[in-house]
Structure 1
């Protein structure tokens, strides 16, 4: 296992690589960091070259504020630094959005795509259920008070447990979530990213094999996003997961790990 730092603009990206063989680039969600992929990496084993990094504002990546930075350019810099021409790319939530944008902008760099509860640029605004809207208001109020511990606790219910299922996840997954997200909540603003053309109406341009996963305890608009990708991308498979929310890989959810491992094995190399 190697831990490296790669330059991209004014950022010094913390990159971690393990295993050998077919490369798999992993882009984390906006409430975690690269450590969230550990259960999946353990499941895939050393025959896969797992490449994960902390995006700006998360984990150990260092950066100076910089308007106009690009999550896509950062991902390309990681691939270039690792001398990877094309990779299977796995992204969750915010990382799913970056993976989609990377695939649309640089289709030659992506051999296959795994999207876990992806955010999508240009998606319609979500219609929040009353419980979720109340949690959202409570998070905003805690943030206004500067109570980041309360923000973190409430966001764990939304994104880890699933709204209305507080305390569902295991203690190990919860402790890691709270550590990763607390660090992100306290991080400096990296600056405004460069605008990217909305992906929502352009998903049919994705031609690589695509696996889409979403948990049944996740927010409703995440399920909508997953189904939209599956309906738009010609070579897409949708897996709807039981008894898990937004971060099934972090929880080591067996169905999630098995589905991704089968997909990676089918498309590696």
Structure 2
């Protein structure tokens, strides 16, 4: 199995500070992973105190990633993926799902957590026909991602690419200009490219999400839930794929690895999700 190239970005610290919570490690904790520390677990437990089903919601968000990648690889013919805010590797990573559908698929992963960097080489083996690369970079500076030599070495931006922003844009408040960040990424991609977003929302329980926001910010993490309309606005410049921006558990359940005939409560996971195509 081919091993990924791992590129630390100059100027971005590779020092691991386990004394403060990090988004990727909190998410790893909710998913049952082992690469987290007391500060991460404390924040994860504090948020779970406000939203007892948060672990199930994190799993639902992860399951959507798999369904969206299956759609892109099987139905949309996409073989290139730029997955930003990757998180700590676990089962069902983007390249694993994509390369099962198309072994030659290529994936560039991006995250700003050095622990993700440390695990990428060991845990993200590509198919022999494809390629997987990891960039240690920060979405606050999208040009640092697009200008990284690994992008040109791995992806052909003259051909359509899927930009994956799964559960990451909530860490950008309006002052961080998330719309401008998304626009910069889309401008670098050709027609026929796709944008995938999930985003937590207060639409289903405003009070609980307000407490989550307070807990995150007390731990030094910006957390900005958005409404359905706010999430839809992030898809500006794309044409939404049916069924549009919907509760994450209801987006194309037929594409689940093990589809179930059981009815699912649309509000069981407090995320909006959607896939848009750049015309």
TM-score range, shorter-chain basis? 0.3 to 0.5
TM-score by length of 1: 0.42
Higher strand share: 1
